[in-house]
Amino acid sequence: MAVSHGPRGYLIGNAVALLLALGLALVPLRLETAARRWPWIAGLLLVLAVTAVAGPPLDGVRRWIAIGPLRLHAGMLLGPSLAVLLATASPGLRIAGTLAAIAIACVAPDLAMALAWAGALLPGLLGLRPRLAVASIALAALMVAATAMRPDPLQPVPHVEAVVAGAWRTSHIGGFVLALAGMAPLLLACMRDAPARALAGFWAGLSLAGLIGHWPSPLIGYGAAPILGYGLSLAVWRATQSARAST
Q: For residue range 209-244, list pLDDT tens digits in order.
A: 988 888 999 999 999 999 999 999 999 999 988 666
Q: What is the mean pLDDT of residues 94-103?
A: 98
Q: What pLDDT does 213 receive?
A: 84
Distance CA 112, CA 105 (A): 8
Does the pLDDT at position 245 exceed 70? no
Residue 67 has phi, psi (to 5 degrees) of -120, 90
More confident residue, 66 or 175: 66
237 near 231, Cβ under 8 Å? no
Task: Supply the DSSP string of 60-74, one letter for each residue.
Answer: TEE-EEEETTEEEEH
Helix (H) or strand (E) holding 113, with range, is helix 111-124
Does the pLDDT at position 69 exceed 90? no
pLDDT (tens digit per residue) in 1-48: 888 888 999 999 999 999 999 999 999 998 988 889 999 999 999 999
Q: What pLDDT does 2 receive?
A: 83
Q: Distance between terminal CA atoms of the chain? A: 45
Considering the chain, what is the average pLDDT of its residues?
Answer: 92
Q: What is the largest CA-CA distance in the chain?
A: 52
Residue 109 has phi, psi (to 5 degrees) of -85, 150
Q: Is the dihedral of CA 179, 184, 190, 194 positive or negative?
A: negative
Distance CA 28, CA 200 (A): 22
Give 216's strand partners. Answer: 161
221 near 142, Cβ under 8 Å? no
Give 58's strand partners. Answer: 61
Task: Supply the DSSP string of 73-134, one letter for each residue.
Answer: EHHHHHHHHHHHHHHTS-HHHHHHHHHHHHHHHHHTT-HHHHHHHHHHHHHHTTTS-HHHHH
Q: What pLDDT does 189 receive?
A: 86
205 near 118, Cβ under 8 Å? yes
Distance CA 79, CA 77 (A): 6
